[in-house]
Amino acid sequence: MTRRDKGSSPLVPRVAASRLSRYLRHLEELEARGESTTSSQQLGGALGVTAAQVRKDLGYFGQFGFPGLGYKIPNLIPDIRRVLGMERTWNVALVGIGNLGNALLRYKGFQAHGFRLVALFDASPRIVGRTIEGMKVHAVEQAARVVEEKGVELAILAVPASAAQEVASRLVAAGIRGIYNFAPVNLSLPEHVAYVSIDLSLELEQLAFLVSHRNRELAHRSSQETAGSGP
Amino acid sequence: MTRRDKGSSPLVPRVAASRLSRYLRHLEELEARGESTTSSQQLGGALGVTAAQVRKDLGYFGQFGFPGLGYKIPNLIPDIRRVLGMERTWNVALVGIGNLGNALLRYKGFQAHGFRLVALFDASPRIVGRTIEGMKVHAVEQAARVVEEKGVELAILAVPASAAQEVASRLVAAGIRGIYNFAPVNLSLPEHVAYVSIDLSLELEQLAFLVSHRNRELAHRSSQETAGSGP
DNA sequence: TAGATTGTTAATCGATTAACAATC
DNA sequence: TAGATTGTTAATCGATTAACAATC
């Protein structure tokens, strides 16, 4: 229970970085529309956060704006990219070519955002050795060599829950620096390896929860009136 | 800026419900292993949250435990299921059969968790009318009819960002009650429609951010020693 | 009974919002 | 200059943790 990591986390709230990505998205859109400046007010308004929040979030990383004028979009975009580590391309491996893996493999969204898929891995001997989308599928045992050869930095983990921890450990041993996990398990990883997890079923369950709940609320409200004017 | 919704949100912290899903997962695993009781201590330990957090989260929804004894797994599982609205099956439509949609279509995870895919939609005339996995693909224009006929309650939205808002509005008009959105846009939906959003690229960007950051940290630390013993 | 563990209230912590001096 | 908007400090809000009486 000792709070040893006091110094490593408190500067930047975890959610601030995630909002930064959203700001970036929107700024790119504004730029595409030919806009050249914006303000915390405008940016926040578009994304449903307060102007203060926008300024605070940016403030964690530097001073990017001009009092009285706002933010210059052509400057702010690369500034945020730099902060997010997106001024460069990241080499990514996909591990697990099942249903989900196959989809992610063909998903164009990652490439569009500065990620390059450079290696494929799978456990099944029926798949290992095959070539998919121009890439050879390697056995996970080959991770160390392939990671080295291809300069893989991040791994997308789309293997069954039962295999996830073992595969993750192997990837860590192979020198991977971040894991994007789709398996519904809590991986235990060394501190120096970054970790983002998405549980697709869990999120859908959350939606079911919200729907059930919203019902109860509405049932409650309907004692007054039906379908009030939403904001 | 008027806080009108004071009464609608404060009782249950948004994250508590999401932890509930994780508790449920772990409890199911414990049950499969033949365990019959657990404690907030044990449950929290396994998932990386404090015992107090576990008790608090459950406390939002009722009293499920027995002082001195802990929780009875065969009771707690259905209790949480009920809270989450997972004591029943949900009928789901998949909208958008592109790369991602195709994957989600074949993804077995949802079925395993009480969701049933009952309808497919797409905008492309090349796909509409085809049968995939035993389901006919409908045009989005048919949403109202199909939603009614098949009893669709939730929709998985896997369409391009540019189409997302329009399709979402159509689904809402068709009577859908919740949207699980994979398009990287902020949908604006009426209050009575629940909404969960996942942005796959954004999350990967977060991973890149974490890796970049962790580097800076390590670089900092390495002025003292290389690769200290992590907790 | 003694030991264990809950449910819940109070204390702490962190993140969001408001406010405002600095400044373009 | 006057008006606008930043960066940042202080105030508020909400969520997490600690503590402990109730109770099995």
Higher pLDDT pick, A174 / A102: A174
Which pLDDT tens digit goes with each residue over A90-106?
Answer: 999 999 999 899 989 98
**A191 reaches B (C-beta below 8 A):** yes
Which pLDDT tens digit goes with each residue over B62-101?
Answer: 999 999 999 999 999 999 999 999 999 999 999 999 989 9
Q: Which amino acid would we find at residue B54?
A: V
Measured N-to-C along each axis, helices A161-173 and A143-150 cross at an angle, to the nearest 10 degrees, of 60
Q: Residue range A112-121: average pLDDT? A: 96
Task: Please provide the average confidence, as pLDDT, over all residues in chain A.
Answer: 89
Residue B230 has what pLDDT?
33
Higher pLDDT pick, A216 / A186: A186
Residue B216 has what pLDDT?
60
Domain annotation for chain A: domains and CATH numbers? 12-84 (1.10.10.10), 90-202 (3.40.50.720)
Q: Which residues of A touch B25 (CB under 8 A)?
A: 184, 202
**CA B52 / C1′ D16 distance in Å:** 9
Which residue does chain B place closest to A22, by CA atoms?
B202
Nearest to A100 by CA among A58, A156, A143: A156
Residue A149 has what pLDDT?
98
Q: CA–CA separation, A74 vs B4, rounded Å?
A: 38
**A113 reaches B (C-beta below 8 A):** yes
Q: Residue range B209-227: average pLDDT? A: 59
Residue B108 has what pLDDT?
86
The vertex-A93 CA angle with A90 and A99, nearest 5°, equals 130
The vertex-B173 CA angle with B170 and B175, nearest 5°, equals 115
From A104, A156, A211, residue closest to B178, measured CB to CB: A211
Say if the Cβ atoms of B198 and A200 lie within 8 Å.
yes
**A68 reaches B (C-beta below 8 A):** no
Q: CA–CA separation, B169 vs A154, rounded Å?
A: 37
Which pLDDT tens digit goes with each residue over B102-136?
Answer: 989 988 889 989 999 999 999 999 999 999 999 99
Q: Residue range A125-138: average pLDDT? A: 96
CA distances from A4 to B52, B205, B213 (A): 20, 27, 18
Q: Is the CB of B22 under 7 A from strand D?
A: no
Beta strand A71-72 pairing with A37-38? antiparallel
Higher pLDDT pick, A6 / B153: B153
Check: CB of residue A152 under 8 Å from CB of residue A93.
yes
Beta strand A194-197 pairing with A178-181? parallel
- Residues 13-42/A with CB within 7 Å of nucleic chain D are 39-41
Residue B14 has what pLDDT?
78
Q: Is the CB of A51 under 7 A from strand D?
A: yes
Q: Is B157 left (phi over 0), alpha (psi -120 to 50) or beta?
A: beta
From B206, B212, B214, residue closest to A192, measured CB to CB: B214
Say if the Cβ atoms of B178 and A208 lie within 8 Å.
yes
Instruction: Give the number of other CB atoms < 10 A from CB of residue B138.
Output: 21
Window from A6-20, A23-37, A82-96 with minimum mean pLDDT? A6-20
Higher pLDDT pick, B13 / B5: B13
Residue A11 has what pLDDT?
73
Question: Token digits for B37?
Answer: 């009781």
Name the closest nucleotide to B68, judged by C1' and CA: C5
Q: Is the CB of B23 under 7 A from strand C?
A: no
Q: How far, in whole angstroms, is CA A28 from its chain's centroid?
A: 17
pLDDT band at B214 (very low <50, low <70, confident <90, very high): confident
**A15 reaches B (C-beta below 8 A):** no
For a pLDDT cut of 90, what percent of chain A falls above it?
A: 81
**B194 reaches A (C-beta below 8 A):** yes
Instruction: Give the number of other CB atoms < 10 A from CB of residue A185.
Output: 20
**CA A203 / C1′ D1 distance in Å:** 55
Q: Residue range B152-181: average pLDDT? A: 97
Residue nearest to nucleotide C7 (CA to C1'): B59
**A10 reaches B (C-beta below 8 A):** no
Question: Which residues, numbered 123 to 152 in chain A, qualify as contacts with chain B under a Cβ-Cβ cut-off of 8 Å?
Answer: none
Residue B229 has what pLDDT?
34
Buried b (16+ CB within 10 A) or exposed e, B143-169: beebbeebebbbbbbbbeeebbbebbe
Task: Enumerate the nucleotides of strand C whose atoms come under 7 Å of any protein CB.
Answer: 3-9, 14-19, 21-24
Residue nearest to nucleotide D22 (CA to C1'): B67
Q: Residue range A208-217: average pLDDT? A: 82
pLDDT at residue B185 greater than cutoff 80: yes
Q: Is B196 left (phi over 0), alpha (psi -120 to 50) or beta?
A: beta
Q: Residue range B133-158: average pLDDT? A: 97
Window from A137-146, A215-224, B49-58 with minimum mean pLDDT? A215-224
Residue A216 has what pLDDT?
61
Residue B152 has what pLDDT?
98
Which pLDDT tens digit goes with each residue over A28-69?
Answer: 999 999 999 999 999 999 999 999 999 999 999 999 999 999
pLDDT at residue B57 greater than cutoff 50: yes
pLDDT at residue A9 greater than cutoff 50: no
Q: Is the CB of B18 under 7 A from strand D?
A: no
Task: Please provide the average confidence, as pLDDT, over all residues in chain B.
Answer: 89
**CA B144 / C1′ D11 distance in Å:** 49
Residue B217 has what pLDDT?
56
**B221 reaches A (C-beta below 8 A):** no
Q: Which residues of A touch B153 (CB under 8 A)?
A: 211
Strands of B131-132's sheet in order across: B131-132, B135-139, B115-122, B90-95, B154-157, B178-181, B194-197
- Residues 63-82/A with CB within 7 Å of nucleic chain D are 63-71
Say if the Cβ atoms of A201 and B85 lie within 8 Å.
no
Which residue does chain A place closest to B91, by CA atoms?
A208
pLDDT at residue B6 greater than cutoff 70: no
Measured N-to-C along each axis, helices B73-84 and A200-221 cross at an angle, to the nearest 10 degrees, of 70
Q: In which element (H, E) is residue A31 found?
A: helix A14-32
Which pLDDT tens digit goes with each residue over A217-227?
Answer: 554 444 333 33
**CA A208 / C1′ C16 distance in Å:** 28
Q: CA–CA separation, A43 vs B18, rounded Å?
A: 28
